[in-house]
Structure 1
């Protein structure tokens, strides 16, 4: 039933008129005509008084609330027109529910902003620390040379090389930050083309051969029957993804272990998985490894090197390819990073055999 102002006024006026007439009926000397006149007078006066109170005073305040909301351009409110609001069984409850929903949304936004603020502070602290380390190291070597060590030829060359290495690390860090910033703002566009992921994996194996040999790590591509794996991707960016994942698998895996790049073919997509046989990643770290500068083992990561931005860049590149990266890890059983890419249905074949390609890489 619609409790409009007129309906409420009518009911209350009728009740007031009935009560008034009932009391007057017990008064001696009151005729039926007088009762009728009093009833009509009580009904009319009560009707307009209640209508004024409900419609003018109550709904006027409700309309003020509406106007205030619209002035603030709060689009989060799903407000009904005034006529529809009046027809609600309880219009004040309706607007109260809308305000409650709005406040709940805003509270979630506030909580999210607090998280972002905390992340911003941590990010600034991490950036400062990452910049400070190579800058202070290079600064120390150069000042040592200026203070007199330059006269010793062996010391001069060794310190200059160390300073150069630290400045190179700083250059890599700046480039990674620039790439990550451009990825987040969408300034870098993906140039989609047919890419042979198997050939790319072999190429990266060749580039990382020395690192793998130094750790006695075996590199393998599976399955053997897939001689070509064509997908739609940006070749340069996808190479950056594969290089980062394979290099991490070699560096953070166990010595004498194995790194496998495995391809699984579906109807529309190819799944790419990079698996190692390392110590694994603790469960509490899995949700944070794609954050900028986040390191599972900070002391070991510093010894191995890297900017701490690799996985963050990988995540953004894959997001730009409309896919997501997944990670599975078990302690002492290794870690697997996997993602899917759309298959490229092409009849084109590489003019160069895998054997020739590997020979070219190793030469």
Structure 2
């Protein structure tokens, strides 16, 4: 807080001394501008009101009040550091965008299951659809839990990559048929990951390959052992990509992107992969775009399954 009379500083509290780096004894009696060194704050004190400004990497809310009673003209400048508040607001907006994106796949899968169950079918086939619906319902429940516990993987276990591949292929079945595309997977390995998070990474990358690759072309998922890490690359025959690093930023879409989209898919991929300590990148392999990521293996992963 800073107090003035007749445009001259009369008092600074300890927080104001730290903020502007001017001790109380040097500030007293000096013009406001010489202390705060910002014309916007000088004007604010003259007129009253409120504004936000950035200073030293912090976000400050500045409020000026005036008192015209008596013979002197008094004013007070109250400064509140709202950096953390603004950071939490940004995180909330980001979390909302992430959840919106992640909810789409299980919701679409449940819709497909319910639509299928409207028709007469053999009991064993109906039970298979019911199991799929229950699995996706459980996945939705875990996403709701993520509202409280954040988005870093928290349920890691040892699993075979083939388990995640099979689940992704089943969920993408209708899209593969619609695009007359095939999907192939590489060597199986044991890895350590959250199964739902790994599935989300695979779905995002394979869906992108189907969407931006030529219709009817195969999508390949290639796996390679790299020391104690397993590298997974999703290959498509789309046009070569430029400025690939920007693709992983929030709310960013490639130049070839068409239709509606949040621009969050690859950002989610990077967030998940970095959460388990891996890396994610895009490179050109021959006539393919390769979207690659790494995930940790378990003891003995040098033995492919």
- Richer in strand (by share): 2
Q: TM-score, normalised by structure 1?
A: 0.42
Q: TM-score, normalised by structure 2?
A: 0.49
Which of the pair has more CA radius of gyration? 1
